[in-house]
Chains A and B, each alone.
Chain A
Amino acid sequence: MKRIALLGMPNTGKSTFFNRLTGAKARVGNWPGLTVELLSARVLLAGQMVEVVDLPGIYNLHGFSEDEQVVRRFLESQPLNLLVLILNAGQLDRQLALALQAQHLGVPMVLLLNMEDEAQRLGLRIDTAALKQALGVPVRLFSAKYGQHYREAIEAIERSLAAHPELRRADKRALEEDQHIEQALDELVQTSVHVPIRLPPTLSERIDAVLLHPWLGPPLLLLILFVLFQTVYALGSPLQDGMEGLLGEFRRSVLDPAMGGLPSGLRSFLAEGLYDGVGTVLTFMPVIALFFVALAIIEDSGYLARIAFLVDAIMQRLGLDGRAFVMQLMGFGCNVPAILGTRIMRSHGLRALTMLVIPFSLCSARLQVLLFITTAVFSPSTAPLVLLSLYVLSILLAMFTAFIWRGRYANREPFLLELPPYRLPTLRFLFYEGWRATLQFLRGAGGYIVLGVVVVWFLTHYPFDVPPAGPATLAGRLANGLAPIFSPLGLDSLQAIALLFGLVAKEVVIGALAVIYGAGPDQLPGILGQRLDAVQAMSFLLFILIYTPCVSTIAVIRKESGDWRLTLLAVTWPLLLAWLVSFTFYQVARALGY
């Protein structure tokens, strides 16, 4: 039978973990050569019976207390498959010493960092990847008390058990020799634990007196978030443009010449389908990295809990909370990072509802299109009013959506948050956070986004012997078939094709219109002015504002929720709303004689 032993300092929740793992099956047993009795139990792990032994809590493998000697003698005499080391995540600065000592035992080990919730309360950020690299063992962060990430901890144990089927005895020399680990400990803590600087409580209280003031607090909140998100885009947009420039340059100077000999259909697939798809993913990167830095600042400084305090009265009535508020505001820049940001919510229902609401935030890509059409069709005095009405409508629709679906995606997380003293997040952690989020986005949603772009490319380019985006393509035929649906909105099939293009990325609508009307970007405003009267234009604007989010947003919703039904709803619900709003507007306006 396989055997694992639990090792850890006193009060690390080792026994809580043992009880959770073994249920009520524990028994007290005698071990050869040991004068004290140890608790052990047999449990089924990955389909095999495993004996789990709970060793006494010790501070030091080389100490001379009775418990420490018991542990040493046990490790000397009893071969093990796996040593599970449990440390308190809130006290790693001293507890990692035990990990450094146990590392030399020569027994396979898994490191579990318990009290994840406690570490969060203290504002500690633990870089498990760095720990794993430094110690060469699997590392998992979890909470034995609340069961948070408990499954992942067990899976790590099961995987290590499978990888080490043979019993091993600890290296006797490692037990006898007391290594000098002080310096190693300092280095390990330096690289793996990010400790924020806490402001003294009195200073925190003085800041709160202003930031949580009943009348000053809410406007300051909007100001702070506005400045922060403006900074994200002020820094991100040039990077994004630079990335697009590089991609275009690469295509012109390398890709196009290299593909000269290929058939035109394949060339179009590679350049306009695959390459543009990958390009879409890449252009998101700068803004996602920056956004997560901004989010980490809000969260780690302790301000996020204050936001919840300030806006909960309104958000609660919509079935949402303060975190949803932050994400929704963020969505006005770009929906994609805002949806990724919902990771900070634990309740599944709350996350799902927030993901459903975020796409109604008028993102900067949609704003470009709306601006373009508005200035093309409306007079300089009416255009700002049109834009303002679109903004107001997007907020109302977001609230309406939350209100309608809050029952289906109910938030069952009890609302009880700690207001920590304000803290200054460490710069190194902020970079780490931005980098980590970007990698996760690339790995997670990247594939879906490329797929989505390729599908829309196919619809608008097949068959290859007709002009792209023309009425003879699949998209054109689809738009023709949909004419009965779009004509009550005052829109023709050419505009419907442009909407289909907008699924790739909303700003593409303008380029698509230019291709469809065979006009250069400078002639397009004139053509739009002729083709659309004010009522049709408004109907078109409303539809663009509300309809199905871009493929990147859909891909991220799918990836983050892991829920196809929610993804389908995120596609169809805005489409339905867009049609209803445009229809009502167009028909009422026409009936009133406009």
Chain B
Amino acid sequence: MSLPLSELPPDTDAKVITLDVGQEYRRRMVGLGLRPGAAIRVIRRSLLQGPLQVRVGHTDLILRRSDAARILVEPMVQIGCVRADATRSEAAPS
């Protein structure tokens, strides 16, 4: 069960499934370790629909939510509670 990275709640381990971004952006992502199969987690979200801080391996990256929406990830934990979390943490970023 996969969902966009932009909706992955903070502190949930997930795996990158697909990167649906342009050639240039994809190259940058892969160069920084953000590639299909990589383990990823959201560390925090910025206010006002600002960027996400994500951790891929030992690297912390920031990317915009609109771009994160085009990255599909699969959480490694139970889906049901993730869904509930996702709606809650939108309002209260940590």
* Docked-complex contact B25 and A212, CB < 8 angstroms: no
Which residues of the partner chain B approach A420 to less than 8 Å between Cβ atoms?
60
Which residues of the partner chain A approach B50 to less than 8 Å between Cβ atoms?
309-313, 316
Select B53's contact among A117, A309, A311, beta carbons within 8 Å: A309
- Give residues 23-38 of B contacting A (CB, 8 Å): 24-25, 27-29, 31-32, 34
What CA separation (Å) do A472 and B94 show in the bound complex? 67
Is B63 part of the contact surface with A, judged by Cβ < 8 Å?
Answer: yes
What CA separation (Å) do A309 and B22 show in the bound complex? 22
* Docked-complex contact B93 and A417, CB < 8 angstroms: no
Select A314's contact among B21, B48, B93, B94, beta carbons within 8 Å: B48
What CA separation (Å) do A218 and B34 show in the bound complex? 28
Whole-angstrom distance from the CB of A46 to the nearest CB of chain B?
Answer: 30
Select A309's contact among B27, B29, B46, B59, beta carbons within 8 Å: B46
Q: How many residues of A contact B (CB 8 A)?
A: 23
Nearest CB in chain B to that of A316: its residue? B64
Select A418's contact among B25, B61, B93, beta carbons within 8 Å: B61
Is A415 part of the contact surface with B, judged by Cβ < 8 Å?
Answer: yes
Is A214 part of the contact surface with B, judged by Cβ < 8 Å?
Answer: yes
Select A417's contact among B21, B25, B48, B62, beta carbons within 8 Å: B62
Is A159 part of the contact surface with B, judged by Cβ < 8 Å?
Answer: no
* Docked-complex contact A416 and B53, CB < 8 angstroms: no
* Docked-complex contact B51 and A415, CB < 8 angstroms: yes
Which residues of the partner chain A approach B24 to less than 8 Å between Cβ atoms?
414
What CA separation (Å) do A417 and B64 show in the bound complex? 10
* Docked-complex contact B61 and A313, CB < 8 angstroms: no
Q: How many residues of B contact A (CB 8 A)?
A: 28
Which residues of the partner chain A approach B87 to less than 8 Å between Cβ atoms?
none
* Docked-complex contact A419 and B44, CB < 8 angstroms: no
Is A185 part of the contact surface with B, judged by Cβ < 8 Å?
Answer: no
Is A308 part of the contact surface with B, judged by Cβ < 8 Å?
Answer: yes
Number of A-B contacts (CB under 8 A): 71
Select A415's contact among B48, B59, B60, B67, beta carbons within 8 Å: B67
Which residues of the partner chain B approach A416 to less than 8 Å between Cβ atoms?
25, 28-29, 32, 34, 61-63, 67
Fill in one digit per residue for A274-315: 1 if any B CB lies within 8 Å of its CB, else 0.
Answer: 000000000000000000000000000000010011111110
Which residues of the partner chain B approach A415 to less than 8 Å between Cβ atoms?
51, 62-64, 67
What CA separation (Å) do A461 and B15 show in the bound complex? 72
Which residues of the partner chain B approach A311 to less than 8 Å between Cβ atoms?
50
- Give residues 43-94 of B contacting A (CB, 8 Å): 44, 46-51, 53, 58-64, 67, 93-94
Which residues of the partner chain A approach B32 to less than 8 Å between Cβ atoms?
416, 418
* Docked-complex contact B62 and A419, CB < 8 angstroms: yes
Which residues of the partner chain B approach A214 to less than 8 Å between Cβ atoms?
44, 46-47, 93-94
What CA separation (Å) do A267 and B63 show in the bound complex? 59
What CA separation (Å) do A117 and B31 show in the bound complex? 10
Is A145 part of the contact surface with B, judged by Cβ < 8 Å?
Answer: yes
Whole-angstrom distance from the CB of B27 to the nearest CB of chain A?
Answer: 8
Select B62's contact among A145, A146, A201, A308, beta carbons within 8 Å: A308
* Docked-complex contact B31 and A145, CB < 8 angstroms: yes
Which residues of the partner chain B approach A316 to less than 8 Å between Cβ atoms?
50, 64
Which residues of the partner chain A approach B49 to less than 8 Å between Cβ atoms?
313
What CA separation (Å) do A416 and B64 show in the bound complex? 8
Contact A313-B67, Cβ < 8 Å, known A414-B25, A419-B62: no
Which residues of the partner chain B approach A310 to less than 8 Å between Cβ atoms?
46, 50
Which residues of the partner chain B approach A314 to less than 8 Å between Cβ atoms?
48
Which residues of the partner chain A approach B94 to less than 8 Å between Cβ atoms?
214
What CA separation (Å) do A553 and B62 show in the bound complex? 33
A sample of 21 cross-chain residue pairs with beta-carbon separation below 8 angstroms, ordered by A number, consists of A212-B53, A214-B46, A214-B47, A308-B62, A309-B46, A310-B50, A312-B46, A312-B50, A312-B62, A313-B48, A313-B50, A313-B51, A314-B48, A414-B22, A414-B67, A415-B62, A416-B25, A416-B61, A418-B61, A419-B62, A420-B60
Given contact pairs A214-B93, A414-B22, A416-B63, enumerate 17 new A-B contacts (beta carbons under 8 Å): A145-B31, A146-B31, A214-B47, A305-B62, A309-B62, A310-B46, A313-B47, A313-B49, A316-B64, A414-B25, A415-B62, A415-B63, A415-B67, A416-B61, A416-B67, A419-B62, A420-B60
